[in-house]
Amino acid sequence: MSHSTLPRTAQEPGGPAPSAAADPLTAPAPTPSPAPAPAAHLGAPLPDPLPAAPPDPLSVWPASTLPHGPGDLTLGGVPLTELADRFGTPAYVLDEDEVRRRCRAYLRAFPDADVYYAAKAFLCRAMIHWVHEEGLGLDVCSAGELELAVTTGFPPGRMVLHGNAKSPADLRAALRLGVGRIVIDSTSEIARLAAAVPAGTRQKVLIRVVPGIAAGGHAKVRTGTDDQKFGLSIADGSAQHAVTRVLGQPRLELTGLHCHLGSQITAAKPYLSAVRRLVGLLARIREQHGITLPELDLGGGHGVAYRPGEPALDIAALGARIRAELVRGCAAAGLPVPRLAVEPGRAIIGPSGVVLYRVLSVKRTGTHTFVAVDGGMSDNPRPALYGVRYAPRLVGRASSAAPERVSVVGRHCEAGDILAADARLPGDLRPGDLLAVPVAGAYHLSMASGYNLVGRPPVVAVTSGTARLLVRRESLADIQERDIGL
């Protein structure tokens, strides 16, 4: 299927919500059907089956992406070459309509639930406005994220505070600003939090439970098992002990259970298993303490495709299957169905972002070609941390050269500074060319560093043919102003 026939579902912020049936967010990547077997003729060899159609190269780009001129693309109606010329490179570009479309898709998929955007994936004032206007809550993990949201006008009662090691400053900020829920991650946090709650008030809390389920795209992002730093285990009784401890604190109000299985999960089965185990724990809590907890937060970790043809989690199907499993399990246990919550981050902002780089050098060493760009692991550490693979694209000029396998590498002093290993790009790449990398909205700027003091890139928003700066580029002056000692 050509890119021009892909469903284009991005809408103006005030426009109608797109149809779920035509929404690539809520449907898995299409799998080409095998060619029908030809009829056998005696004595005649069977022909080779037709090759499967290659995946659409723009399938992982925001829905507003369109070809423009010789080799260029527009995003939100703005040419990528124009963005690079105006804002420089590297630069992150966010499609505002894509963000809003994905927020709305979550509200359709989970109509009777609370949807909290996970701020750790990416946060700035504009993003806070967008998710608030679309009706989502906010999941924060520090006083910094919390303060930025509150000073931007986000209601603190619509926030959940996470963290396996919350500092006293984090807890004080949450209580002072009136955060809606605090997720307790360890038993030592219970007495510390209770002591900080002002007399005569109560703070609503959830207990983060480890259900013993291995799920996620890499070992470093699997958080639902008993061998990592998060949460309280069901298997060893830690979760049940924490429930008893919280119920003994008059300034804490236990409203439910929380779990987060990991990141880049592309199947519904782990979430259904988590529902069953948490419903079982809810039933044991009622039996032991005589209380029915009204809330169940299943966290996030919903996987997206980073390259054409990769699987992505079907959000609409996930919502329906979780609801069905929760209703069935609660009916069997004689429990009322608790209020559900989910916490998507990557699945909203990841595919809404593109990063632009300028090629600095092309080096051929033996049979290997290295394409070095003006960014690297300081603005995207994920390939170095998790071996993530991306699909960069040449934009700004047409090329008839045959594609070659190259490594797109960064400018930093590390052999592991590789942004896209084994990428297919035209064989005539040269310094000055512009590369665009899709699915760059999540865990890029939020995990960026000051390595080699190159400065973090700006963030630009596009919508309806216009572009505006959201976060300016970090300058050398910014870096020097922080260094005050001699």
pLDDT digits (tens, 9 = 90+) for 351-364: 999 999 999 999 99
Token readout for 436 is 């665009």
Average pLDDT over residues 196-216: 87
| Banded pLDDT at 467 (limits 50, 70, 90) | very high
Class of domain 351-479: mainly beta
pLDDT at 317: 97
Which pTM was predicted?
A: 0.87
pLDDT digits (tens, 9 = 90+) for 138-192: 999 999 999 999 999 999 999 999 998 899 999 999 999 999 999 999 999 999 9
| Banded pLDDT at 476 (limits 50, 70, 90) | very high
* CA atoms of 279 and 272, how far apart (whole Å): 11
* pLDDT of 42 strictly over 60: no
pLDDT at 263: 83
Comparing 45-59, 126-140, 151-165, 253-267, the range with the smallest average pLDDT is: 45-59
* CA atoms of 23 and 265, how far apart (whole Å): 19
Token readout for 320 is 């329906």
pLDDT digits (tens, 9 = 90+) for 415-430: 889 999 989 999 999 9
8 A C-beta contact, residue 357 and residue 90: yes
pLDDT at 152: 98
Helices 269-289 and 315-333, packing angle to 10 deg = 30
pLDDT at 366: 84
pLDDT at 228: 63
Question: What are the residues whose beta carbons fall under 8 Å from the beta carbon of 447, sequence distance 6 or more?
Answer: 380, 381, 382
pLDDT at 17: 38
* pLDDT of 243 strictly over 70: yes
Binding-site sequence positions: 301, 343-346, 382, 386, 414, 443
Going through 36-76 in order, the beta strands assigned E by DSSP cover: 66-68, 72-75
Average pLDDT over residues 302-308: 95
The DSSP element (H or E) to which 281 belongs, if any, is helix 269-289
* CA atoms of 321 and 328, how far apart (whole Å): 10
* CA atoms of 253 and 315, how far apart (whole Å): 31
pLDDT digits (tens, 9 = 90+) for 217-240: 444 444 444 566 567 988 888 999
- Rounded to a whole number of angstroms, the distance between the first and last alpha carbons of the chain is 62
The DSSP 8-state label assigned to residue 55 in this structure reads P
* CA atoms of 250 and 5, how far apart (whole Å): 60
pLDDT at 16: 37
pLDDT at 266: 92
Average pLDDT over residues 200-212: 93
* pLDDT of 64 strictly over 70: yes
pLDDT at 48: 56
DSSP helix/strand/coil, 146: helix
Q: Is 413 a residue of the active site?
A: yes
Average pLDDT over residues 49-64: 82
Comparing 125-134, 291-300, 385-394, the range with the smallest average pLDDT is: 385-394
DSSP helix/strand/coil, 115: strand
- Give me the chain's average pLDDT, please: 88
Token readout for 331 is 């009916």
Mark 467-476 as b/e (b = at least 16 C-beta within 10 Å).
Answer: beebbeebee
Pairing type for strands 137-140 and 159-161 reads parallel
8 A C-beta contact, residue 189 and residue 161: no
pLDDT at 43: 42
Token readout for 412 is 């930093």
Average pLDDT over residues 462-480: 96
| Banded pLDDT at 411 (limits 50, 70, 90) | very high
* pLDDT of 393 strictly over 70: yes
Average pLDDT over residues 232-254: 94
State how far Cα 309 lies from the chain centre: 18
Comparing 180-184, 384-388, 451-455, the range with the smallest average pLDDT is: 384-388
Token readout for 299 is 């966290």
| Banded pLDDT at 213 (limits 50, 70, 90) | confident
CATH fold of 96-349, please?
TIM Barrel (3.20.20)
Q: For the chain, give every domain's residue range.
A: 96-349, 351-479
The single residue of 124, 259, 330, 413 carrying the catalytic annotation is 413
pLDDT at 50: 58
| Banded pLDDT at 29 (limits 50, 70, 90) | very low
The DSSP element (H or E) to which 404 belongs, if any, is strand 403-409
Binding-site sequence positions for pyridoxal 5'-phosphate: 301, 343-346, 443
8 A C-beta contact, residue 208 and residue 260: yes
Residue whose structure tokens are 């080096």: 363
Q: Alpha-carbon torsion 164, 167, 172, 177, what sign?
A: negative
